[in-house]
Chains A and B, each alone.
Chain A
Amino acid sequence: MQINSLSSHSTLFQKLRNFDYILLFCILLLGLISSLSMYSTDGGEILFHTKSHIAKFLIFFFMMIFLSLFKINIWHYFSYLFYVVILFLLIWASIYGIKVSGSQRWIDLYFINLQPSELMKIAIIACLAKYYHRVQLREVNTFKHIFFSLIILILPILLVISQPDLGTSILIGLSGLVVMWLSGLNIKYFIYSFLTLLISMPFAISLLKPYQKLRILTFLNPDRDPLGAGYQIIQSKIAVGSGGFTGKGFLKGTQNYLEFLPEKHTDFIFTLFAEEYGFLGSLGLLLIYIIIIYRIIKIGSISRSYFAKIFCYGYASSIFFYISVNMSMVLGLLPIVGSPLPIMSYGGSSMLATMIGFAIVMSAKINHKQLIA
């Protein structure tokens, strides 16, 4: 209790001193790289995307610093509420949301179009972390706990799928599952459900929307329709491949500035980066992400509370999922499902969610000795 009260009364200065500066530095570095890439997508001018991206990054970065000052038990306390609010926003979005090219994902908040499904990626981890925080290891595999945790997981997935947004729902699902796995859920359940998934695959495919089926077919053979569905992935591979070892150079990515790259601000930002900075640059970027993931795991490992530990591990894993799904997708290793690259991709909701995640991690670092009752 003493330790507890000690840390709760630690001064602002002490808190600042306890920040993970390597993590902060990596985040700032990503912010810089992403701003340069955004500048490149605008054709070497500071136009809308660049300005907006820099503004969002700075606002959310300082918001993250500020939120980090909250004690970890406050995050713990509000985790369910956070989840419920986001769930509510998801429902709201599916009723009153803005429809853009066939999917209803956004809520118009006047200053920002909020995409609640992005925030759900964090909320699901926080919520499940809190849920498993209190569950004893031997009780994890009881029907009751599996049942409740699955409810928590499946509700948002269904809502997001119905938007429709397959990519985000997969990432939410993966994030939730990884928390459940970390918390000690028996491996046999994963094996069973994986087998069930395999068996039900044909059935599931028949339920997919035509454009989703097309994406899978395109993934299997991009040359099927090179100017139509396969265009994105072919052009993306050309951009990455033509980058070579050292890349074409800053602002010299011809695939980018000649507008061959689709969605270059958002999901395909890595393509542009790989074209301009080549294999070396791509490895560098990957390294930054690896350091970030490593730092988060490290924070998790020193955290004394289950909540903080599970959250950090979960969050590190989901960042890993975001990156690997995004990169595999633009490199033609996975079908195109629509998932942003954290910090790099243009998009406020994704940036906000990522920063909230970092805030909780940072708070866990500052308060790593704190236990939650």
Chain B
Amino acid sequence: MLGDDFSVKKIHTINRRMFIIGAAKFIIFSGIIVRLFSLQIKDNKKYSTLSDKNRLREWRLPPIRGEFLDYFDNVIAGNNRVYELHVIPEQVEDFRYLIVRLKEILNLTNNQFEKIIKQKNQQKPWETLIVSKNLTWEQFSKVNHYLYDLVGAKPVISVSRNYPYDESYTHVLGYVSEASENDILNNQSIKDNLVPGLKVGKTGLEKSFENQLIGTNGIQRYEVNAYGKRINQVDQIDGLKGNTIKLTLDTEIQKKSAELLRGMAGSINVMDIYTGDIIAMQSSPSFDPNLFIFGISQDDWQLIRNNPLKPLVNKSLSGLYSPGSTFKPMVALSALENNIITKNFKVNCTGKTEMYGQTYHCWKEKGHGVVNLKEAMKQSCDTYFYEIARKLGVDRLRETSIKFGLGDKVLDKTFNNEKKGLVPNTKWKKNNLGKGWVLGETLITGIGQGYIQTTPLQLCLMTAQLANGGFKIYPKITINEKDKTAVEIKELMNEGQDFLESFGNDQYTKLFDKKENIELIRNSMFASTNEIRGTSYSSRIEDPKYQFAGKTGTSQVKRITEAERELDLATKDIDYKNRDHALFIAFGPFKNPRYALSIVIEHGGSGSSVAAPLAKELFKLIIDRHDLREQAQTQKIINT
């Protein structure tokens, strides 16, 4: 049975067919090997990249914002360590328990608690839920202490903007807050560095210098698993910190200005008359910019918004005021320069003057009698200025005013909220109001009333340019390496005078025709403060080291009726919003001037009784700080 043909044939068939299968196997295995080769060797690069893409994920870290320094290198806007508490809901076993526990430990209000719950419901379970952005040290250590019971809670140390001088610099620096949709749309560098919760400048220099301040993102690269959970950190690229920006401001003077303005609405500006350095720029009332960093509370916001003294307005740049008598130096200078009058020109002031049936009053009812220019400036005689304004005409007055910096932005594009103000002329009225200029309007422009509008900073610049002998300067608030020193600038100004009296230096242009005219104005301002019957005589400092020259101004916000004039009400008896603005401009020390200032107190009453006394206090400090400022300057030169 074994040897039978069929059996042999059967075995033969089986073996033959097995051989065929074997061949098929060989082909198929070859196919698999080819496939392996193509995946693992030919396309290895592609798949390795894909594998890395799978496992590596980058996290962008918020950039560290550049700092602001004052003139003496004090940090006035820095970065603070803050303690945050994060929770990733996905990684928490019992979210309800955790959040209730946190509520107890952190003493969260019901309001805050609900906000967190709401936030949690809005986001994906694997996204970080920020329970708190700003834990106190006590809260932070408490959380760390109970961490064993708070599975899923992560205390995190982070940095955030901090303004150590609270309210002092609010209007200059502005504040930062979380980037809004508009911020992202309008600024490419915000877009490029965006991370959730990125804080960007909202107003002031924080906004203007955003691109320099923002810095760049750090990057942390993590290996993640298929569920996006971080397994371990692969590498870290530190971001670049934003540029540090140094300002010309002096914190002590800035603080003093804030103190002087406390409780009032107004502005104080102090400027170096040569370098154009803005040494103080204070607007009152202010508010604490730190409130905005973590999102201001509704209550705080309403308090700021509804304050009738308007804390949100930077009055130094955006406040527009009739300059009142502080404009008189311009009127006098313009009249002198245009040879309308000489220094001996006299007017008899009877307390009022009439023209075309209209009566124009001097502030002194009984009149000043016969006054020359110096006396008129000193006592701020309105009648005298009505008369010279009438002779001068508004168009020529405007020319001089514009030269000295009125009617244009002082800091160009540095602040987006700076106003230009208005210096009217006949053409302006025709174009904008469609009516012809009336002579009466020239008269009131002559005492800084009517259409004319100036910002406190413009008045400060005007004063500075009178004080330095009538030369154009370039106001600035930031310090750059190429800045010229006061000595260099002074030389440039003198150079211009020595060589070509009529041209001046092309950069620090001469703004006058005759040097005597400027001198006369300066002397008149000196008299106004330092001679008896001068309007700011009571605010004088006799010590020549501090002695300053000034000009008061009281600008009406409302036309006074004849009936009111009869009543002669005290300031406190008038409605707040109808009270006069008090103004004062000054420069000093008189013998060798270096600083100019302007003070505006909204609805403060008279310039001589409210604004000028502040100048007296401030000047002492400004001069006392002068040597330190010079030292810092020398130090800077040595360093570079």
Contacts and interface: CB of A to CB of B under 8 A. Distances in A.
17 contacts: A137-B9, A184-B13, A237-B47, A238-B47, A242-B44, A242-B51, A245-B41, A258-B223, A259-B225, A274-B36, A283-B36, A286-B33, A297-B22, A306-B11, A309-B11, A331-B36, A371-B2
A282 interface: yes
Interface in B328-360: none
A28 interface: no
Contact of A245 (B31, B40, B225): B40
B44 A260 contact: no
B18 A331 contact: no
B603 to A, nearest CB: 67
A279 B37 contact: yes
Contacts of B25: 293, 317, 320, 324
Interface stretch (A81-89, A175-183, A342-350): A175-183
Contacts of A254: 51, 54-55, 223
Contact of A238 (B13, B31, B54): B54
Contacts of B37: 279
A300 B18 contact: yes
Given A240-B47, A331-B35, A317 B54 contact: no
Given A138-B6, A254-B223, 18 more contacts: A178-B21, A182-B21, A237-B47, A238-B47, A238-B51, A241-B43, A241-B47, A244-B44, A257-B225, A259-B226, A274-B40, A297-B18, A297-B22, A306-B11, A317-B21, A320-B25, A324-B28, A328-B32
Contact of A241 (B17, B44, B225): B44
A310 B33 CA distance: 28
A183 B14 contact: yes
B15 to A, nearest CB: 7
B10 interface: yes
Contacts of A182: 14, 17-18, 21
B88 interface: no
Nearest to A310: B14
A27 interface: no
A57 interface: no
* Pairs of residues from A and B, 5 with the lowest C-beta to C-beta distance, nearest first: A241-B47, A242-B51, A258-B225, A279-B40, A259-B226
A219 interface: no
Max count, chain A CB within 10 A of own CB: residue among B37, B46, B47: B47
A266 interface: no
Contacts of B29: 286, 290, 324
Nearest to B35: A331
B39 interface: yes
A258 B226 contact: yes
A41 to B, nearest CB: 14
Interface string A228-264: 0000000101111111110000000011011110000
Contacts of A245: 40-41, 44
A313 interface: yes
A238 B47 CA distance: 5
Contacts of A317: 21, 25
Contacts of A274: 36, 40
Nearest to A136: B6
Contacts of B39: 237, 240-241, 331
Nearest to A244: B44
A97 interface: no
A195 interface: no
Contacts of B54: 235, 238, 254-255, 258, 260
A301 B18 CA distance: 9
B30 to A, nearest CB: 10
B370 interface: no
Contacts, number: 128
Contacts of B223: 254, 258
B48 interface: yes
**Secondary structure type dominating chain B contacts:** helix
Given A184-B10, A238-B51, A239-B51, A244 B18 contact: no
B14 A309 contact: yes
A301 B15 CA distance: 7
A36 interface: no
Interface in A251-306: 254-255, 257-260, 274, 278-279, 282-283, 286, 290, 293, 297, 300-301, 306
Contacts of A137: 6, 9-10, 13
B611 to A, nearest CB: 71
B499 interface: no
A237 B43 CA distance: 10
Contact of A313 (B9, B14, B55, B225): B14
B17 to A, nearest CB: 5
Interface string A172-211: 0000001001111000000000000000000000000000
Contacts of A239: 51
A261 to B, nearest CB: 8
A283 B55 CA distance: 26
A185 to B, nearest CB: 9
Contact of B17 (A181, A235, A328, A333): A181
Contacts of A293: 25
Contact of A255 (B32, B51, B231): B51
Contacts of B18: 182, 297, 300-301, 313
B227 interface: yes
A145 to B, nearest CB: 13
A362 interface: no
B230 to A, nearest CB: 11
A327 interface: yes
Interface in B421-480: none
B50 interface: yes
Contact of A333 (B6, B11, B35, B44): B35
Nearest to A260: B226
Contact of B224 (A235, A258, A283, A333): A258
A196 B284 CA distance: 95
A208 B28 CA distance: 27
A328 B28 CA distance: 9
A241 B224 contact: no
Contacts of A258: 54-55, 223-226, 231
Contacts of B15: 301
Nearest to B231: A258
A63 B454 CA distance: 104
A320 B30 CA distance: 13
Contacts of A279: 36-37, 40-41
A313 B21 CA distance: 9
Contacts of A240: 36, 39-40, 47
Contacts of B22: 297
Contacts of A306: 10-11, 14
Max count, chain B CB within 10 A of own CB: residue among A241, A257, A300: A241
A94 to B, nearest CB: 32
Interface in A104-141: 136-138
Contacts of B6: 136-138
Contacts of B231: 258
A254 B51 CA distance: 8
A324 B14 CA distance: 22
Contacts of A297: 18, 22
Nearest to B19: A297
Nearest to B42: A241
Contact of B50 (A241, A300, A331): A241
Contacts of A278: 40
Contacts of A310: 14
